[in-house]
Amino acid sequence: ELQYRSLRFETEELDVDNYQGNAVINYTDAETPYTRVIEHKHFEFGKGDKDKTIVTREYPADWHRGDEPYYPVNNQQNNDLYKQYAKLAQEKEANVIFGGRLGQYRYYDMDQVLHAALVCVEREFK
């Protein structure tokens, strides 16, 4: 079984107009237990309650079967196992395209996801 990292979310309504002034702020310091705070009203371009806001904190979580997998664990053991699955899939499933973080078992930033998708389209439509 391939290993993944997961996430846990805590959402809270706050009695303030503006909590962080931005839709998303990432936290990378070791002292902060969450990795990201999302303030939803900033995605809505000023819509919503003026006296309240809703924020979601994103915490890293261990992945267990049945949990949502968010990120692959890219170590030698998992990458070797993924290569075996990929080979098997190519032999058995010729008409299936595996893409994205989970399908290709890679950590991608969004620009890398778009590039990989364009490469795939180019390869498939030659």
Q: Any idea which of 25-34, 42-51, 66-75, 111-120 has the lowest mean pLDDT?
A: 42-51
Determine the pLDDT at residue 89: 87
DSSP for the chain, written as a single string:
---EEEEEEEEEEESSS-SSSSSEEE--STT-S-SEEEEGGGGTTT-S-SS-EEEEEEEEEE--TTSPP-EE--SHHHHHHHHHHHHHHHHH-TT----HHHHTT----HHHHHHHHHHHHHHHT-
Q: Any idea which of 44-48, 106-110, 111-115 has the lowest mean pLDDT?
A: 44-48
Q: Measured at the alpha carbon of residue 3, what is the angle toward residues 105 and 85, in degrees to the nearest 5? A: 50
Instruction: State the amino acid at position 91 in one-letter form.
Output: E
What strands lie across the sheet with 53-62, from one edge to the other? 24-26, 36-39, 53-62, 4-14, 71-72
Determine the pLDDT at residue 65: 94
**Beta-strand relationship, 4-14 and 24-26:** unpaired
Q: Can you tell me the distance from the alpha carbon of 87 to that of 84, in angstroms, rounded to the nearest whole number? A: 5
List the domain boundaries for the chain. 4-62, 74-124
Determine the pLDDT at residue 47: 64
pLDDT tens column, 65-110: 999 999 999 999 999 999 999 999 888 888 888 888 888 999 988 8
Determine the pLDDT at residue 93: 83
Mean pLDDT along residues 35-60: 87
Determine the pLDDT at residue 48: 65
Residue 46, pLDDT above cutoff 70: no
- pTM for the whole structure: 0.76
